[in-house]
């Protein structure tokens, strides 16, 4: 699955940012920075291509790999931060380019309240030894957070170079054609009708099950090679590769955040690169099976078909989610979920993060939200309902498989012992993953609700104080 540093929007919308600029009362107390400049490692990429927003969006890359989205005004301001202009000179420069009057105080407000929190502005030399400022980081919903990098960026670049030739159009057509032909041959020869006997062979020979698992792991690694190779083929630079825990299952990832600099076609190629390499792996395994008839290989081929189809599921952060996101030109659809829900259930005008989308994109995102909410509930609800009945059974199964794995190891049956350990791991993993999901979603819900609760509390206290000050004294009788 593709992954990366996420996509950070500097300001909720273009409208909100422009209002902040034109509200002179809001910027009256903004500090006056000295000849501001960009932070180290900032790369100005340019306009986000294939955007689904009504107004153009621009992106830049931070030194830590974080992609930041900016409206035109902030991007132009960032492009002039070379350390040679103060706020007044920047305001004059922007006024000439945009054709409207901007004040130095307004530019100072943008610098301190928009660019500096996002880590775009370098530290002020006159601020003293205060240490590096805290920068904004996205906290995306249902992201791959529990992960560890294994393959460094330099090695990932080499791997991408090895496989990028597979994305030449003639090679792609040849690979897809071979996949279709071999799949048809497998079906016509009755290969899938032998699944029963192939599965029975795995039951009697645990070492064959380990071969199937090893084959799946290798093909999943090959899947990630497809993402990084497509990223490099399009002209972007892939990052680290590794593995982690996504939802309730282990997953591999490849960092291809830099693909945001590509056009829509290049981003879609990166999204589908993993599935394309799945197709290549299935074709190779099918060719071997047709030539040898190895039973366990047929099980691996079927599981790879299922895994490839699962990648198109658009309601969690699998390849299909990123494909949908890049087709409509809206990064991180999950960040739009709460604004869309709020707009659906209140009578006032839509949320600004919904209004900034093109009309057809807004309808697609709304339909996606309508479908994704019950999908997430359907996925998580069984863990809540079945936990009291299933967890004791899981504990009993662990109690049985643990001693059996130990006995197999003492008897020298390495395959049976290894399979027993894997079975115990897979028994515990879904429940551990579900617990982490509920915890993270609860924390995000608290963070989302807490500002509104505090706002209402402050209003309530202010109202009580106002009433207390203006209550007429009761006349003594």
| pLDDT for res 426 | 65
Given a cut of 60, whether residue 15 has pLDDT beyond it is no
Residue 59 pairs with which residues in a beta bridge? 46, 69
Given a cut of 80, whether residue 32 has pLDDT beyond it is no
- % residues pLDDT > 90 (the chain): 33
Q: How many CB atoms lie within 10 A of CB 391?
A: 12
Note the pLDDT tens digit of each residue in 63-83. 888 889 999 999 999 999 988
Note the pLDDT tens digit of each residue in 101-144. 888 899 989 998 889 888 898 876 555 444 444 455 555 666 66
Looking at the structure, do residues 194 and 304 belong to the same domain, yes or no? yes
**pLDDT bracket for residue 476 (50, 70, 90):** very low
| Average pLDDT of the residues in 214-229 | 93
Note the pLDDT tens digit of each residue in 274-308. 999 999 999 999 999 988 888 888 888 988 999 99
Looking at the structure, do residues 119 and 158 belong to the same domain, yes or no? no
Note the pLDDT tens digit of each residue in 325-383. 999 999 888 888 888 888 887 766 778 888 899 999 999 999 999 998 888 777 767 66
The Cα–Cα gap between 386 and 145 comes to 26
In a domain, 356, yes or no: no
In a domain, 343, yes or no: no
Note the pLDDT tens digit of each residue in 397-411. 667 777 777 777 777
Looking at the structure, do residues 101 and 151 belong to the same domain, yes or no? no
How does DSSP classify residue 121?
B
Looking at the structure, do residues 151 and 233 belong to the same domain, yes or no? yes
| pLDDT for res 143 | 66
In a domain, 138, yes or no: no
Nearest 5 degrees, angle CA 436-CA 439-CA 271? 55
- The residue from 94, 124, 154 where one domain ends is 124
Structural domains of the chain, count: 3
Is 82 exposed, middle or buried, given 0-12, 13-18 or 19+ CB atoms closer than 10 A?
exposed
Looking at the structure, do residues 299 and 203 belong to the same domain, yes or no? yes
| pLDDT for res 247 | 66
- % residues pLDDT > 70 (the chain): 69
Are 319 and 311 in contact by the 8 Å Cβ rule? The answer is yes
202 token code pair: 């795995």
The Cα–Cα gap between 62 and 136 comes to 11
Looking at the structure, do residues 112 and 244 belong to the same domain, yes or no? no
Counting other chains too, the contacts that 99-104 makes at CB distance below 8 Å and 24 or more residues apart are 102/21, 103/24, 103/27, 104/32
377 token code pair: 């509930």
Looking at the structure, do residues 88 and 182 belong to the same domain, yes or no? no
Looking at the structure, do residues 297 and 440 belong to the same domain, yes or no? no
In a domain, 349, yes or no: no
In a domain, 372, yes or no: no
Looking at the structure, do residues 160 and 275 belong to the same domain, yes or no? yes
| pLDDT for res 461 | 74
| pLDDT for res 30 | 46
Looking at the structure, do residues 159 and 114 belong to the same domain, yes or no? no
Looking at the structure, do residues 178 and 255 belong to the same domain, yes or no? yes
CA-nearest of 116, 23, 26 to 77 is 116
- The residue from 56, 91, 124 where one domain ends is 124
Range of the domain at 262: 146-331
């Amino acid at each position: 699955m593709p992954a990366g540093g996420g996509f950070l929007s500097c300001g909720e919308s273009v409208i909100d940012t422009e209002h902040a600029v034109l509200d002179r009362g809001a910027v009256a107390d903004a500090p006056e920075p000295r000849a501001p400049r960009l932070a180290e490692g900032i790369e100005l990429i340019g306009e986000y291509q294939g955007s689904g927003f009504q107004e153009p969006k621009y992106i830049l890359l931070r030194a830590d790999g974080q992609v930041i989205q900016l409206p035109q005004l902030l991007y132009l301001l960032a492009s002039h931060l070379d350390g040679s202009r103060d706020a007044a000179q920047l305001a004059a420069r922007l006024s000439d380019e945009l054709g409207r009057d901007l004040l130095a105080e307004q530019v100072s407000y943008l610098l301190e309240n928009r660019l500096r929190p996002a880590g775009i502005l370098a530290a002020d030399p006159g601020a003293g030894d205060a240490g590096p400022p805290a920068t904004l980081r996205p906290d995306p919903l249902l992201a791959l957070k529990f992960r560890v990098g294994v393959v460094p960026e330099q090695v990932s670049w080499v791997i991408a170079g090895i496989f990028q030739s597979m994305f030449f159009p003639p090679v792609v057509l040849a690979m897809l054609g071979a996949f279709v032909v071999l799949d048809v041959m497998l079906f016509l020869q009755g290969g899938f009708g032998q699944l029963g006997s192939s599965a029975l062979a795995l039951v009697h020979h645990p070492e064959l099950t380990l071969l199937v698992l090893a084959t799946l792991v290798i093909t999943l690694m090959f899947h990630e090679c497809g993402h990084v190779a497509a990223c490099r083929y399009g002209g972007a630079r892939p990052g680290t590769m590794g593995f982690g825990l996504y939802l309730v299952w282990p997953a591999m990832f490849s960092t291809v955040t830099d693909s945001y600099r590509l056009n829509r076609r290049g981003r879609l190629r990166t999204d589908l690169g993993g599935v394309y390499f799945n197709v290549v792996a299935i074709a190779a395994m099918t060719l071997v099976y047709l030539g040898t008839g190895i039973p366990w290989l047929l099980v691996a081929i079927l599981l790879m078909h299922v895994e490839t189809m699962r990648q198109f599921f658009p309601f969690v952060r699998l390849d299909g989610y990123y494909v949908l996101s890049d087709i409509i030109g809206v990064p991180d659809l999950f960040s739009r979920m709460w604004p869309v829900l709020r707009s659906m259930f209140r009578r006032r005008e839509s949320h600004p993060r919904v209004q900034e989308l093109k009309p057809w994109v807004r309808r697609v995102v709304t339909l996606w939200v309508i479908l994704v909410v019950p999908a997430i509930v359907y996925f998580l609800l069984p863990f809540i309902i079945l936990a009291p009945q299933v967890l004791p059974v899981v504990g009993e199964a662990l109690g049985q498989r643990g001693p059996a794995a130990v006995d197999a190891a003492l008897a020298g049956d390495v395959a049976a012992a290894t399979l027993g350990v894997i079975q115990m791991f897979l028994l515990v993993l879904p429940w551990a993953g579900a617990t982490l999901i509920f915890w993270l979603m609860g924390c995000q819900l608290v963070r989302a609700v807490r500002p509104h609760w505090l706002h209402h509390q402050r209003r309530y206290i202010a109202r009580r104080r106002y009433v207390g000050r203006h209550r007429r004294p009761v006349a003594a009788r």
